[in-house]
Amino acid sequence: MSTRSGIGYDSHRLAAGRRLVLGGVEIEGAELGLEGHSDADVLTHAVVDALLGAAGLGDIGQHFPDTDKRYRDADSADLLSEVCSFLEDHAWTIVHIDATVVCERPTLGPYRDRMRTCLAATAGLRPLEVNVKFTTGEGMGFVGRGEGIGALAVATVERAQ
Ligand code: MG
């Protein structure tokens, strides 16, 4: 069995008049949302990049260019689903995903289980095989100033040699 891990990182700017979607879950009543070509779900994007990295299959920008009109306001859960199928085509099985969202506000803890469940369902995993953590910027940097949200993820995949 060949086992590999990959990392993913993403960040998006916060803006008025946008929905805040993280891990496929809409954060209700958020004053600001994330700006981007798709729904700007920074957590799902980091997970997609971690999966592609683990499988050695490039990055999210190669597969879903932001110059492509098909991905305008795209639901990132659909992109994740497409990438999971792509990995399956290459005989990779996803074993585990771990992620951290770096966000000053709002408080995301109440959404943790929904994000895990949603990401797991999309990736064909059990919720216990997906971990989502939260931290803040402690007032420092673009996160601390409330300019944006960042996310990091690590994915582990395996396949027969
Ligand atoms: Mg992104």
4 DSSP 8-state letter? E
Indicate the pairing of strand 93-102 with strand 130-135.
parallel
pLDDT band at 73 (very low <50, low <70, confident <90, very high): confident
| Boundaries of domain holding 16 | 2-159
Residue 29: Cβ-neighbour burial (10 angstroms; 0-12, 13-18, 19+):
exposed
C-alpha of residue 49 to centroid of ligand 1, in Å = 9
pLDDT band at 12 (very low <50, low <70, confident <90, very high): very high
C-alpha of residue 47 to centroid of ligand 1, in Å = 10
Q: At 29, which CATH number?
A: 3.30.1330.50
Q: How far apart are CA 42 and CA 34, in angstroms?
A: 8
* Nearest-10 crossing angle of helices 112-123, 42-55: 40
C-alpha of residue 29 to centroid of ligand 1, in Å = 22
Instruction: Note the pLDDT tens digit of each residue in 14-53.
Output: 999 999 999 999 999 999 999 998 899 999 999 999 999 9
pLDDT band at 69 (very low <50, low <70, confident <90, very high): confident
CA distances for 82 relative to 18, 120, 125, angstroms: 24, 14, 15
Q: Token pair 């999210």 is at which residue? A: 60
Near ion ligand 1, which residues have CB within 5 Å?
Answer: 10, 45
Q: What is the pLDDT of residue 70?
A: 82
What is the tally of structural domains in the chain? 1
Who's near 39: CB < 8 A, 6+ residues apart?
A: 19, 21, 73, 74, 75, 76
Q: What is the pLDDT of residue 34?
A: 97
C-alpha of residue 92 to centroid of ligand 1, in Å = 23
Q: Which helix (H) or strand (E) holds 87?
A: helix 76-89
C-alpha of residue 34 to centroid of ligand 1, in Å = 10
Give the global pTM: 0.97
C-alpha of residue 42 to centroid of ligand 1, in Å = 5
Return the minimum-mean-pLDDT range out of 61-65, 67-71, 135-139: 67-71
Q: How many CB atoms lie within 10 A of CB 76?
A: 26
C-alpha of residue 159 to centroid of ligand 1, in Å = 27
pLDDT band at 74 (very low <50, low <70, confident <90, very high): confident
**Is pLDDT at 99 greater than 80 in this prediction?**
yes
Count CA atoms within 13 Å of residue 101 on its CB side: 27
Q: How far apart are CA 40 and CA 52, in angstroms?
A: 18
**Is pLDDT at 156 greater than 90 in this prediction?**
yes
How big is the chain by its Cα radius of gyration, in Å?
15
C-alpha of residue 160 to centroid of ligand 1, in Å = 31
Instruction: Note the pLDDT tens digit of each residue in 113-144.
Output: 999 999 999 999 999 999 999 999 999 999 99
Q: How far apart are CA 78 and CA 84, in angstroms?
A: 10
